[in-house]
Structure 1
Amino acid sequence: MSALAPGARVSDYDYALDPSRIARYPTERRDASRLLVVPRAGGDLRHGVFTDLVDLVQPDDLLVVNESRVLKARLRGHKPSGAPAEVLLLQPRAVGSEVLWEALVRPGGKLKPGRTVVVADDLTVDIVDSTADGGRLVRLRTPLPLEQALERHGRLPLPPYLEREAEDSDLERYQTVYARVAGSVAAPTAGLHFTETLLAELAERGVETAPVVLHVGPGTFRPVEGDDPAAHPMHTERWSIPPATADALARCRARGGRVWAVGTTVTRTLESAAGPDGRVQAGEGETRLFIRPPYPFRVVDALITNFHLPRSTLLMLVAALAGYERIMDAYAEAVRSGYRFYSYGDAMAIV
């Protein structure tokens, strides 16, 4: 039996990280994060700061960003008995003529179908059914537009590894400056480094920017169990690509420019929507695409991303673009050099 290639096992994506390197708060300025540049063709890794992107992205290139906005999806309330309860909304699901929400609830053993959580006088959550993965289907009852009700009564759902509650500063800093379409339960974190000033500087250089939307679901934090990536049930996420972005992608290809994906969410969106010839059509849909070595990229040439958790599907995605050994060497260098990791951490440019 032949040996598996490096990067074929989940355990190949393990690495040691001191907990002190997990960034629990963002840098004072968005674009002050460090940037590790990883050339796909080989050569030395380069250390810099995020504003160096102005020199990395060329005028013929296209920068694609994810305009999804994080919902205030964590709802705290109480059962009719007065006992505290919590609901974390995950994603909407059409059931017949109504829209229910997949959710996680606490205490799970007590909040069975038929129970109710009172969040406020104008927001109640009905537990409708259980889901196969231990979650719930819930109905939100409110006289307000849903986004307004969540904005009024919800809290931002920060990643569990931050080990803290959301604070007022997170209301701004855990959203990108271009977030527009509410629907994510986690931020598309590569975009957190961009400022209006940096985007303006890129535009002045002739760099075109185009939006997509992919709503980040909770599966982004789901660990990969076992040692065979192919056995992992990849999570589903919803995406949309407007006609103007499809046109911008076609123009970029025609002029010989590179497509830069700002984050793994943009990468997943573009590669999911691409035809066999690499052309991307406008539209919307759901994707379960699991990008891992040796995935043949059809659209994305360069990627801006943060540093991801060990054994995660996101680490496998960046390894597919940069090469397994290349990315693991880059992570080892980042650990040695004191980079900050995960959602509020530093950035990497694979180019």
Structure 2
Amino acid sequence: MTLTAADFDYPLPDDRIAQHPARPRDAALLLDARAPALVDRGVLDLPALLEPGDLLVVNDTRVIPARLTARRGQARVEIMLNRAEGNGIWHALVRNARRLKAGDTVEIEGAPITARVVEDPAEGAVRLDFGPDEAALAAALDQAGEIPLPPYIQRAAGPEDEADYQTLFADRPGAVAAPTASLHFTPRLIEALEARGVRRATLTLHVGAGTFLPLRGDNPAEHKMHAEWGQITPETAALINETRARGRRIVAVGTTVLRLLETAATGDIAQPVRPFDGLTSIFLLPGHRFTTADLLMTNFHLPKSTLMMLVAGFAGLDHMRAVYAHALAGPYRFTSYGDSSLWARA
């Protein structure tokens, strides 16, 4: 089957894109999309939908204030840090990148720090050298950086977003976008899951700015994902494999978790993952053979997005279309601050 971008298109009114999260977070809706029946529920129903011994896998990345404004002389540029490469060098997306060239020095507005342009920009991206003092860069980001809300949230980031756009599991700084499926979790929901006997494992995928980039062209197979750094420790891999061996389910909380699990997939259903530490640019589409997670918890995604394509690959394209039609006909809110859904592997 040849796929086109139109296969993942649907009409999404602007007023269905959530501009703020539910309050409290766990008051969000949850569409139980496990085929064939669709059931309207709430996030607080999640413990009842899982079984003792099931394993939630969550992403413990922490969003950094990665949006910066800089100047090269009188030229003003907007910088979105994307991925740390080590030794103070960052891959970044830059608006007005044509104003920069290798060897330039840019001054960060609002903080006493500069960065050197390592090489000429390419396709709107550039490598910046902030120097080896990671503490100085972290302080500068706290001082001058902004939380990089997704572009479909049509407002400036406010003080409340510093907490709203972090998950309960956020621990390891490095992401420029939140793993939004986890935004619904609260201490009382975690307590209820633990009381149910549901276990939890963590991995890290530092979500990059590429998650916001639209599909280029009409052929999804030609789209290239930006690389992101991820890690699955031996302990987490062992817990996942033990869960499968015991006949319990692995629940990926979010597309970032599922992408990293499939990156580390062994191809063996019985022992599905191996430890991993490195970059991934995996792009999951219909036709991919998923072998890791049994269930996927995720928000509702934008039309033609790579995230929507992942869901279609995991649960089936026709089923995904039916679920999205149901959500649009109901009260569900879409995207990062929106409602949630629970899917089974097709």
TM-score greater than 0.5 by the shorter chain: yes
Hey, what does 1:309 align to over in structure 2? 302
For residues 168-220 of structure 1, the C-alpha deviation after alignment (integer angstroms, 9 at most, x for no partner) is 00000100011001111110000000012111210111111000001111121
Hey, what does 1:299 align to over in structure 2? 292
Whether the 8 Å contact between 1:307 and 1:345 is mirrored in structure 2 is: yes
The answer to whether residue 114 in structure 2 is matched with residue 124 in structure 1 is yes
Hey, what does 2:26 align to over in structure 1? 31
Hey, what does 2:50 align to over in structure 1? 57
Number of aligned positions between the proteins:
340
Of 149, 157, 169, the match for 1:178? 169
Q: Partners in 2 of 1:247 and 1:143 — Cα distance?
A: 35
SS of equivalent residue, structure 1 residue 133: coil
SS of equivalent residue, structure 1 residue 162: coil
Q: Partners in 2 of 1:148 and 1:258 — Cα distance?
A: 41
Identical aligned residues as a percent: 43
RMSD of equivalent CA atoms = 1.8
Shift of 1:105: 2.8
Hey, what does 1:225 align to over in structure 2? 216
The answer to whether residue 94 in structure 2 is matched with residue 101 in structure 1 is no
Q: Partners in 2 of 1:216 and 1:29 — Cα distance?
A: 25
Hey, what does 2:9 align to over in structure 1? 14
SS of equivalent residue, structure 1 residue 55: helix
Distance 1:60 1:139, change over 3 A: same
Whether the 8 Å contact between 2:33 and 2:343 is mirrored in structure 1 is: yes
Q: Partners in 1 of 2:117 and 2:214 — Cα distance?
A: 27
Q: Partners in 2 of 1:120 and 1:126 — Cα distance?
A: 17
Hey, what does 1:139 align to over in structure 2? 129
Whether the 8 Å contact between 1:13 and 1:316 is mirrored in structure 2 is: yes
For residues 111-161 of structure 1, the C-alpha deviation after alignment (integer angstroms, 9 at most, x for no partner) is 333132233453222233223222221121486603333223211111111
Distance 1:142 1:225, change over 3 A: closer
Hey, what does 2:62 align to over in structure 1? 69
Q: TM-score, normalised by structure 2?
A: 0.93
Amino acid at match of 1:104: L
Of 299, 323, 330, the match for 1:330? 323
Q: Partners in 1 of 2:320 and 2:302 — Cα distance?
A: 13
Whether the 8 Å contact between 2:88 and 2:132 is mirrored in structure 1 is: no
Shift of 1:110: 2.8
The answer to whether residue 78 in structure 2 is matched with residue 86 in structure 1 is yes
Hey, what does 1:253 align to over in structure 2? 244
Shift of 1:226: 2.5
* Unmatched runs of 5 consecutive residues or more in structure 1: none
Amino acid at match of 1:127: V
Hey, what does 2:181 align to over in structure 1? 190
* Unmatched runs of 5 consecutive residues or more in structure 2: none
SS of equivalent residue, structure 1 residue 308: coil
Q: Partners in 1 of 2:93 and 2:262 — Cα distance?
A: 29
For residues 69-114 of structure 1, the C-alpha deviation after alignment (integer angstroms, 9 at most, x for no partner) is 1111112344444x644322111235xxx44111123443433331
Distance 1:270 1:256, change over 3 A: same
Q: Partners in 1 of 2:248 and 2:185 — Cα distance?
A: 21
Distance 1:283 1:109, change over 3 A: closer
Q: Partners in 2 of 1:241 and 1:344 — Cα distance?
A: 26
Q: TM-score, normalised by structure 1?
A: 0.92
